[in-house]
Amino acid sequence: MPSEPGVALITGASRGIGRAIAVALARTGRHVIVNYRSRQDAAEETLAAVREHSTGELLELDVSNPEAVSAALDGVHARHECLEILVNNAGIRNDMLMIWMQQDDWRGTLQTNLDSFFHVTRPVLKQMLLKRRGRIVNITSAAGEVGSPGQVSYSAAKAGLIGATRSLAREVAKRKITVNAVAPGFIETDMLEGLPAQELRARIPLGRLGKPEEVAALVAFLCSEDAAYITGQVYAINGGLY
């Protein structure tokens, strides 16, 4: 990785953990591409926060749509010589017991949480391999490591992302590209909507929910030169939940 600031793409960056990561990377001087699917108002708020520290731009894109991703990233690569950082953060939660789950429920969750990793990472990786540098960080979940009732599809997608992280890291290490994953537990975002916050806190040894900025700080470290010898790892950030 060169010492000068590069370009970072964060998927699902309009709110929550994605927004915090975008701002954290902006603080390091990177040009930040803020991806969002539908909440333009929220994405513009993220971009404004990014521009308090560095430069940035918006990228409206459904990362579960391979054709749309391919066209959008062609445009990104035309504007920027090389994306040096990719954070795959986009995801949805669609909780239900498997006995009630329909095929569309299953596929929709996997498309957004797992297929998007392939759609976005593959074209970005081509440029990283040519430049012989890059940082890829995948945002998975505690559910992908320990499972959770009512989250069979979500847990399957996040567990798949962990396996993909470890395998890809071994494929590209010789090109000085690192690939790591961060597995948050219960973080104060709208992804927890509908869940009993008090009960969740009682399960966490530290006795509180995590903050998006705490996850973002770990991601920023993994994208730094200080983390050049770290790859293929999965970092839990869950307050001691397991």
Torsion (CA) 148, 242, 88, 37 in degrees, nearest 10: 50
Instruction: Give the span between the Cα atoms of 215 and 17, in whole angstroms.
Output: 7
Residues of the chain with pLDDT > 90, as a percent, come to 73
Residue with tokens 């239900």, as numbered in its chain: 96
This model's pTM is above 0.85: yes
Does residue 38 register a pLDDT over 90? no
Instruction: Give the span between the Cα atoms of 231 and 135, in whole angstroms.
Output: 9
Residue 199, number of CB atoms within 10 A of its CB: 8
- In the chain, the amino acid numbered 213 is E
HSE-up of residue 9 (Cα within 13 Å, Cβ side) = 29
Which of 220, 142, 121 has its CA nearest to residue 187? 142
Residue 181: partners with Cβ closer than 8 Å, 6 or more residues away = 137, 138, 139, 140, 161, 162, 165, 233, 234, 235
Instruction: Give the span between the Cα atoms of 23 and 49, in whole angstroms.
Output: 6
Residue 135: its H or E element: strand 134-139
| The pLDDT value given to residue 5 | 65
Does residue 2 register a pLDDT over 60? no
| The pLDDT value given to residue 223 | 97
Domains of the chain: 7-237 (3.40.50.720)
pLDDT in tens, 66-91: 999 999 999 999 999 879 999 999 98
Residue 8: its H or E element: strand 7-10
Residue 194: pLDDT band by 50, 70, 90 thresholds? low
Residues that are catalytic: 154
